[in-house]
Structure 1
Amino acid sequence: MKQLNMIYSFEPIINENCKILILGTMPGVQSLRKQEYYGNKQNAFWRIIYSLFDKELAIDYNEKKKFLLEHHIALWDVLEACDREGSLDSDIKNPKANDFVSLFNDYPRIKSIYFNGSPAETLFKRYVKAKFEKGDLKYRRLPSTSPAYTAAFLEKFDKWKIVLEDL
């Protein structure tokens, strides 16, 4: 039997002004290598976020993080750690959820959670939502920005426009 690799997510990109939280599942191989959320150039996440505000995509990762915070958007993953070979969410084993109770206590302005794809939503419902009760949160699943989800960019972008309603 092949040995799986324990991998760890990143700290959230967040500040006290954030109103929405976008959740992925766990960074992929390229993101982990680069130590950047959505570090795979084929992932549409950053292009979608910048397009929402009709801005040109920044190259520098620190600029991307700053852009999110300027627009009151926080970014994190549902999982803190898991065993996984490769980048596919379907290969996740032994998931350990991030500490959302502390996050929501520390950042009470967050009112909406957007899931970047159905695996993030499924993992959140299974491992997080049952552990705390924050009834004033709004939850929405968006199409995955991953290249593994092969919908066209414009199809994804059109559905992601709903994020603007909560800002």
Structure 2
Amino acid sequence: MPGEQSLAATQYYAHPHNLFWPFMASICGETLPGPYDARLDMLHRHGIALWDVCDTCIREGSLDTAIREVVPNALPDLLREHPSIQLLAFNGQKAAALFHKYFGNAIDIDQITLPSTSPANAGKSRQLKEDAWLQLKSCLKDESAGKQGRLKK
């Protein structure tokens, strides 16, 4: 669920110290675009969708540990409408835990839980986080071949 700064800006990962956008630019092999719309276009060009496990919730502040009263997003509907989605990559343990709580094993799709890009996740080094996120490079849409790769297991 977006934090306070993201909600105020109506932009995912708006906190200036969140590493999501720099990591995505690196994964996509692009320079980090400045404007938010250009960042979303970058994801789209590379076959990356951005969505929350939660449709709504109540949370004081921005910490994931404060999330309560969750209404999950209609993820099964999204996957039915977009069958080309082959992997769910969770930004942190809380997103993965919420997914499993609400959907369990009902959704049969590859999944990976990555370290949170939030500045609150200070227990892991930037390099460790980036190395984990760079695994997604192998899953990007290969525009020349018109197909997506897979994570190596």
TM range (shorter): 0.7 to 0.9
Equivalent-residue separation in structure 2 for 1:51 and 1:154 (angstroms): 12
**Larger strand proportion of the pair:** 1
Counterpart-to-counterpart distance in 2, 1:104 and 1:56: 29
- The amino acid across from 1:113 in the alignment is L
Q: What is the CA-CA distance between 1:156 and the residue it aligns to?
A: 0.8
Q: Which runs of 5+ in 2 are unaligned?
A: 141-153
Query: Could you tell me which amino acid in structure 1 is paired with residue 45 of structure 2?
Result: E
Aligned residues: 139
- Specify which of 113, 118, 121 is matched with residue 141 of structure 1: 113
Residues 77-108 of structure 1: CA deviation (Å, up to 9, x unaligned): 11010111100010011111000121011101
Structure 2 CA distance, aligned partners of 1:110 and 1:54?
21
**2:101 equivalent to 1:156:** no
Match runs of 1:8-157 below 5 Å: 26-130=1-105, 133-135=106-108, 137-150=109-122, 151-157=124-130
Shift of 1:53: 3.0
Q: Which amino acid aligns with 1:68?
A: L
Unaligned 5+ runs, structure 1: 1-25
Give distance in 2, aligned partners of 1:36 and 1:53: 19
- Provide the TM-score with structure 1 as the length reference: 0.80
Contact 2:76 2:107 in 1 (8 A): no
Letter in 2 for 1:165: S
Q: Residues of 2 paired with 1:54 and 1:70: CA distance?
A: 12
**Which protein has greater RCO, CA pairs closer than 8 Å, 6+ apart?**
1
What TM-score results when the alignment is normalised by the length of structure 2?
0.87
Query: 1:134, CA displacement in angstroms?
Result: 3.6
Q: Which structure 1 residue ranges, 4+ long, deviate > 3 Å from structure 2? A: none
